[in-house]
Each structure stands twice: as C-alpha cells, then as structure tokens.
Amino acid sequence: MRPQLMDFPKLGLFLVLILGWNDSFNCERPGVVNIGAILAYDSVIGRVAKAAIETAVHDVNSDKNVLAGTRLNLIMMNSNCNAFLGAIGALKILDREAVAIVGPQVSTTAHMISFISNGLQIPLVSFAATDPTLSSLQYPFFLRMTPSDSYQMKAVANLIHYYGWRQVIAIYVDNEFGRNGIDYLDDELANSTSKIYKIALPMEISQDKMTEALRNSRVIGPRVYVVHASPDSGLDIFSVAQQLNMMTDEYVWLVTDWFCTALGSSESNLLNTLNHLQGIVGFCQYVPVSSQKNGFMSKWEELHKKGMVTSKVNAYGFYAYDTVWAVARAIDDLLRDSGNVTFSSNNELVNMNGKIHFDQFKSFDDGYLLLQKLLLLNFTGITGQIQFDKNRNLKGGAYQIINIGRNIVHTVGYWTSHFGLSISLPNSLHENDERNLRAKQVLGNITWPGENTKTPRGWVAATNEKPLLILVPRRVSFVEFATVLDNHTVTGYCIDVFEAAIKLVPYAIPHKYVPFGDGITSPSSWTLVNMVANQTMDAGVGDITIAKNRTKIVDFTQPYITSGLVIVVPVKTIKSSAWSFLRPFSLDMWCVIGAYFLLIGAVVWLLEHRVNSDFRGPPKRQCLTIFLFSFSSLFHTQKENTVTFLGRFVMVVWFFLLLVITSSYTASLTSFLTIQQLASPISGIDSLIATNEPIGFQESSFARVYMIDVLKIRPSRLVPLRTPEDYAKALRLGPKRSGGVAAIVDELPYVEIFLQKFNGFGLVGEPFTRRGWGFVFPRGSPLAIDLSSAILKLSENGQLQMIHDRWLCKNNCTPKPAKSSDPYRLELSCFRGLFLVCGVVSFGALLIFLLRAIRQFIRFKSKQKDPADSSKGCSHMIYSFFDFLDEKEEAIKKMFKQQNNTSQPEDAIAYFFSPYC
C-alpha cells in the first residue's frame, strides 16, 4: 500500500510557516552587542575617559528607550600610549566581533588602527584624536567626536593676527598629533603673511634636552611661543622656561587645549601649579552649561566619593561619554533596519600565508551601514549638538580663551568657527550670522607674563649672543653713501641715517655690519637684496633703491632720500657779443616785426590823413611820419595823436602786441645773458630716446634694466661707467669719439655728488622715475615698520636734512640744471596768433575806410555830372579817386553843400561803372 501523500495546499502552508519561523529567528535582536575602547589608562585623558566610557555604557544599558533590550558589552584595551600595543589591542577587540571602537585616544594609534578598521569595516569613533589628517579620504571609517585641530589652529592664528604678531615659535610633540597640528597652524599663519619657527620635542625628553631646546629658541628672535604638547608632560616646559627667565614681560605664551586638560585634571595643589604659569593664554574646548552636564557632574562626584575616580572630569571625559551614546544610537538605528549583527570571513585575510590565523578576523557585514547611521546622527549631548560634517568631524566647535593672572584663571573671550574672536559667546554656535562680526573682534583684558598689561611686542630684533647681521655694500665709487675703510670701519651717509634711526627705536638692537663686495667693483644691489630675502643676512643698509620687483621678496622701510633717474649732459657758457641782443628772436620773427611796424604806420596814416593835420603836409614829411610813427609807438613817444575811431582801435591792438613782444624779449634776453646753455641738442628723455647716440650709466645700477625693459633702448647704446671721473671723461669725449657718450642716466643722489665735483655739466628735463632709497629687511620683519616710524621722526625734527647736508652738500647742494637754448629763442610760431589778430584788425579797419571813401567819391562824381570824365578812361578815374582821398574831409563836405545836383545814387553808380572803365 502506497503511503498517502500530503495534500499540496497543506504542504505549501507548512513550508511557508517553516520559512517564516526561520526568518523571524534570524531577525531577532541580539541580546548583546560588543563595542571596544582603546585608551591609555595611565594618561591624564585616559584616566578620565575610562570612567566616563564605563559610566556611559552603564547609562545606555539602563535606558529602556535605547537598544530596546540589547545590552552593550564594553571591551577595553590599554594602549599605554604605544601605537603597536594599541594595534594589538584593536586586534583582540575585533577578534571578539566588536561592531565599533570608541577611540583610539592617541592620534598615532588612530593612524595605525584605521587601516585595520578599513579592512574589516569597523567604525572608529574617537573622542581625543585631534590630528587633522585623520579626516582625509584615506580613513573612511574614522569619525571624530571632538573638534579637529584644524579648528583650534585657526583660532590660534586668529589670535596671533589680532595682536599683530608676525613671527611665532611653535613647540610641539614630534608625532602625528603635534606635527600635523602645527603644520595646519603654519598654513593659517601663511594667509596673514606670518612666519612660524618649529621646535620639535620627542615624546620622552629629559629636562636637560628641553632646557637646551628652549635656550636655543631665544636666539631666533620671536618671543611669541605656541605650545602644542601632551597634557601629561606639557607643564614641564613652563618649569624649564621659568628657570631660563623666559616668563618675563617680553614673552608671550599661547597654549592649545591640552593645557586646560592638564589644569582640570591636576591632582596636586592647583595654586602651586599656577605659580609658574602667570600670563599664559590658553584655548579650552567649550562645553556649554546644561542639565545633562550637571547630571553627569553629579554622577562624577559620587564616583569620586566612592574612590572610583581620582581625577577631575575634563572636556575629553564629556566627549568620551557622548561618544558611547552616539555609538549606541547608531547601533539602535541599525538594528531597527537589519535586526541582527553578522560577520563574514575576509577572503583576502584567509588566503594570506603566515602563522597568525587571519581567518579568525571577520568583516562586519553592516559596517558601512553603521557608518552611515553615525554620520546621520543629530541629537543633543553633554557637549552640545552632536552632528558630523562632510569630513566626518563634529560640527561647530567653540573654544574658551583663558588667561592666568595673579594665580587665577580668567576667561577673556571665546572663538567660534563662524564668528571668530568675541568677548562673549554667540547665541548659536552653528548658524552663520550675516553681520560681519569678525570686523568687531575683541577680547577682554589680558595679563601677560611679568604681570604686564600692555600687549608685548612679541619679538626681539637681536640679542648680544646673536646680533643683527647687516649687509653693507663696499662701494668703490660714490663712497659718500656707504663704504668700508681700511680699518674695517663702515661709514657713509646711509650708515649715519641708519644709526640715527635705530636710536629712535624704543628697544635695543645689537647689530653688526658685514661688508659686501670685493673692493674692486661696486657690488650689485640685486645680489644684496637676494641675500636678505634668503635670510643669509638679517638686513641691508646702503644705497638700495626701492623697486617694485624687489618689494615682492623683501620689505623696505620708509624712503629716507628721494631718488629718480635724471639725465646729465655737457653745458657751455655763452659769451656775450655785440649782437647778443638779437638772440632772443629768430630771423623770421625779426622780419615779421619790421614788416608790421611799416604796415601799422601805413594803415594809421591812411585812416588819419583826411581828418588829422598831424598826418598831412609835404610828401617827404608824410613818408617820414609813416616810418617813425609805429616805431616811436614802441616807446610811447609818438608826437601824432589819432583822432578817428578806426585809427584808435588799430592802435589799441598794436599796443597789446607790443606789450607781449617786449615782455617776452626782455625775459628771453635775460636768460641768454645769465644761464648756461647746452652743448648738445638733448633736452629730455624723449629727445634722448630719439637719438642713436651712446648713453652712459653707472655699473651695477638698475638704470640699465629700466632703460632696456621700460624705455626700450637698445643694449648696444648703453655704456657702463664706474666712477665720477669716468662720467666726466665720457661726456667730454662726446658721442662721436670712442668711449664717449651723449648723456648719462643715473639716480639723482649720485648726480648731485658728480655735479659738485665737476663743472661744465648739468641736468636736463625732469626726473622720469619717482623712487627712493630704503633699508632692506626680510619679508614680515617688524623692524621695517619700526624703522619707518623712526625715519619719519628724523625727517620731522630736521636731523635727516642735517645728515644729508653733512655728506652730500659739502660745496653746493643744488644740482645745476642745464638749459637748452632752443626754449629761450622765441620763434614766430609763438606769436602767430597775436600777429594774425593784429593783421586782421588792421586790414578790416582799412577796408571799412576804403568802402566809405568809395561811397563818398561816387556821390561826389554823380553830383558833378561831367560827361568828359567818361571819355577819359579808367586810369583818369583812379587818379581822380586818389586826389579825392588826398582832400581833407572838411573840404569834401563843403563841396557837397555847394552842388545842387540831386541825381539818384543808382545813376551815379551806373555812371561810375561805365563801359569806358
């Protein structure tokens, strides 16, 4: 008998129930989830963090609203501040299938363990590893539950910029935490052109080595120290600094958040600890006051009374507590979605050869999902809002700025990433206010080391152990500016100005002059500037021109002498001669003036002849009147008076023309008789460029580069010269002879010295560059600013001019200008407009007179009506017209009265223009 088969519908229902029961079994929440923690139990942070983490795990397991019955199991390992031991501890934790690791505490350990967590997909959530480089894409499973040092270093740089310090010394622990943090500070300071000097200290250092490091730092110059150390040993630095007398009023000590951690966790007498910390300014992680914080503090006090904790809680304890809660919330969200925690073998590890059994380490299947749950967290913890940014760092981050004065810790301000420095904490740490609060940054009063309330300068230019090394050019020409004598003494105008300025600086600057040059040729200013820029030397003093391309690599002081390129040419003195009075006007000018004298005389004679008896008489007398009248008007000695309106109008214009001509003649003749004249046609930079003649310049001067690059003068035209004697010789030879030049282009101070020593030369044109000389310092040197102020004081009290006169004005301080004869010889073109106006007025008056005379003549002939006149021809009519003009005006009027003929003017005009004409 065959067995009875189960009905198909019943079989299907049975399978569904079996599969459903299995799925329900697999999706059940686990009773325990393992998490790990890697700490350094004996460290300042580790002691507090261990108790905080244990307290947090207890609170999570006691809270029914989190994990819904699943219990956290904490597996803790002691790294003992050793990266290798920390890695071994991480492997032990992962061997027990932990889903996340709280920590590690030390940045060095975090770098090593991050590679393990990446391979096994186990999130690392650190509360104390502040190295900014851990946020790189290389460590995708690393999250930071504390502000990164990138925020803190920005805050430190902001404070340094606020007080205007340009140079700082950073003392740091030489590991990933210290080295990378200071590198970020270096980047931030570079944005404000500040410079940082770095002094690295090993993790374990003897007091002798620390003393040597601090003693060596004093010769660098800056007195602003930034200490980025460990809270376990950082306070020892200040004990050594106190012994070296480095806690005085000229020093500034800035410390990062390790300092507050060390102070807050100090088990010794705090008052004794603060004795050698007076004036320190520190940055503390700010934890806002809240009910959660107060509740945690109460629990901590209970633990302290029971002897379970011996240290005071610090900021890292708060962050450690919140880290456990963040991990618990993320695991809770994960279990709601997946329902279980599973691990899988890692094939890559299994296939590796070796004695270590890598097949025991399994990858967390939902590690990436747990990472996403962590990144999406948004809740309020003890430390404030818990939320991650795109770099997996805790958002926001505020720092409380403290100052130790009179054995009391004062809060002097705050720093936030959105608002910068402020004397009070903004209402919101995460919202960016549109108002520009950075422009109103302010802090409270700070007591600096030595109980100094005035902001320290923050640097010393030099010390007796390390004086300021000043480069001085050893000039072989123009030694009045700077040179080195045989006894190695440095002297010159520039040296005296520097010495006078340095006395006005409100602090001592030990310095030593270092000669620069071989003593055969004058050294190049460019080489000197580059040596200062490379910090081979600390400064440069001499005849150094402030040029645009030089300011890109060094800092200059305020100019102490005005400079600029000028042109020097030969000059000659014009000797007086019997005909010197003719030189002011050119030949064509004299010809036109003579012609106008005759023209004005003739015009005025015609206008006055019929009505003025002074202009009548025998022909010889009238010709003499025409010739003498206009000439005598030059001196206003003419005997004849003008009576007609047209004649007077012409004379007014003529007198104005004479006034301008005589004034110009007098000025030009005076110039010709009293000044020196050029021996060459060069009158300025334009005429110099237009010629193809050779040009001299001082060797090693920037004038050559300027003429080639800016003025576009061919290099073949440029002749290098060395000494003032070479200048004089080349100019006297002239451009036509070998070695000669048409002109020399050099800076004004050199030219002043040259013109005092040699006669027969002068300046033409105006300076075509506006520059000056200044002292050279490396970029960012505060000395440049202080010496600029000193130079301004020298200028105001007259001492700068006294030094100038003592060195550069031994004979005559005024450069001799060379003037060309061309500008003082007056050409016709200078007066063309005046002559044109006078000519137009004269011919206009003459035309009006002739038209009036013709009208009278026509009228006169029309009344005579003599038929015989029309038959005598045109020449007779012209002669008649001139006879009519020669008659007096009164006689013509009498003739009109005696005639009774009333012919119309139209008939008279027709008669006058008859065919006989």
Cα 269 from chain centre: 50
Whether the per-residue pLDDT at 891 is higher than 50: the answer is: yes
What is the share, in percent, of the chain residues with pLDDT greater than 90?
Answer: 39
pTM of the entire predicted model: 0.68
Lowest mean pLDDT among 92-101, 151-160, 497-506, 602-611: 602-611
pLDDT level of residue 640 (50, 70, 90 thresholds): low
Q: How far apart are CA 200 and CA 203, in angstroms?
A: 10
**The pLDDT value given to residue 827:** 74
pLDDT level of residue 747 (50, 70, 90 thresholds): very high
pLDDT level of residue 414 (50, 70, 90 thresholds): very high
**Domains of the chain with bracketed CATH:** 32-147+289-387 (3.40.50.2300), 149-287+397-438 (3.40.50.2300), 468-563+772-809 (3.40.190.10), 580-674 (1.10.287.70), 678-764 (3.40.190)
- Cβ atoms of 523 and 700 within 8 Å: the answer is yes
Lowest mean pLDDT among 119-123, 573-577, 751-755: 573-577
Whether the per-residue pLDDT at 168 is higher than 70: the answer is: yes
* Sequence-ordered alpha helix ranges (H) in 367-417: 367-375
pLDDT level of residue 871 (50, 70, 90 thresholds): low
pLDDT level of residue 425 (50, 70, 90 thresholds): confident
The secondary structure of residue 288, as a DSSP letter, is -
**The pLDDT value given to residue 850:** 79
539 forms bridges with which residues in the sheet?
470
* Tokens linked to 278: 């007076």
Q: What is the CA radius of gyration of the chain?
A: 51
Q: How far apart are CA 125 and CA 634, in angstroms?
A: 107
Average of pLDDT values for 440-461?
86
**The pLDDT value given to residue 902:** 46
**The pLDDT value given to residue 616:** 63
**The pLDDT value given to residue 323:** 96
Average of pLDDT values for 310-326?
92
Cis peptide before 104 (omega within 30 of 0): yes
- In terms of C-beta distances under 8 Å and separation of at least 24 residues, what long-range contacts does 849-857 make, across chains too? 849/606, 849/607, 849/646, 853/881, 853/884, 853/885, 854/881, 856/884, 856/892, 857/881, 857/884
pLDDT level of residue 814 (50, 70, 90 thresholds): low
Average of pLDDT values for 455-479?
87
pLDDT level of residue 25 (50, 70, 90 thresholds): very low
What is the share, in percent, of the chain residues with pLDDT greater than 70?
Answer: 79
The closest of 816, 695, 681 to 762, measured between CA atoms, is 816
Whether the per-residue pLDDT at 396 is higher than 80: the answer is: no
Whether the per-residue pLDDT at 574 is higher than 70: the answer is: no
What string of H, E and C letters represents the secondary structure of 453-472? CCCCCCECCCCCCCCEEEEE
**The pLDDT value given to residue 899:** 56
Whether the per-residue pLDDT at 577 is higher than 50: the answer is: yes
The closest of 779, 792, 805, 809 to 501, measured between CA atoms, is 792
Q: Measured at the alpha carbon of residue 764, what is the angle toward residues 763 and 769, in degrees to the nearest 5? A: 90
- Cβ atoms of 175 and 107 within 8 Å: the answer is yes
Whether the per-residue pLDDT at 272 is higher than 80: the answer is: no
Cα 455 from chain centre: 25
Q: How far apart are CA 265 and CA 44, in angstroms?
A: 7
